[in-house]
Amino acid sequence: MNILFICSRNKKRSATAEAIFRNHAIHSVQSAGTEESAVHRVNEKLLLWADIIFVMEKRHKQRLAEKYHAAIADKHIIIMDIPDEYAYMDAELVAMIEDIVQPYL
């Protein structure tokens, strides 16, 4: 399964999620951001690649729907409800991401 993690700038939350699951034996993971300043910006090709998409906040799903409606029409998108208040690889952030994602693996 191809898993995509999305936040705003792809520096903390989605990058952490990608790092956690990067070496998974079965699944492939990537991460991206919705903002112009994102390290890796989300695009249609990436969305089409993904089998499941995890977004950190409701607004990220809304941005995807506005810009990439056709590409996400049949996608399973999970809103993780993780606010932008954690550092990259923060222990609490890692635990939250693992708890939310694990049932989908």
Yes or no: is domain 2-104 CATH 3.30.1490.100?
A: no
**Which one, of 82, 78, 83, lies nearest residue 64 by Cα?**
78
Token digits of residue 78: 């999970």
Confidence of residue 24 (pLDDT cuts 50, 70, 90): confident
Q: Where are the domains of the chain?
A: 2-104
Read off the pLDDT of residues 31-90 as tens digits, 9 standing for 90 and up.
999 999 999 999 999 999 999 999 999 999 999 999 999 999 999 999 999 999 999 999
Residue with tokens 């919705």: 34
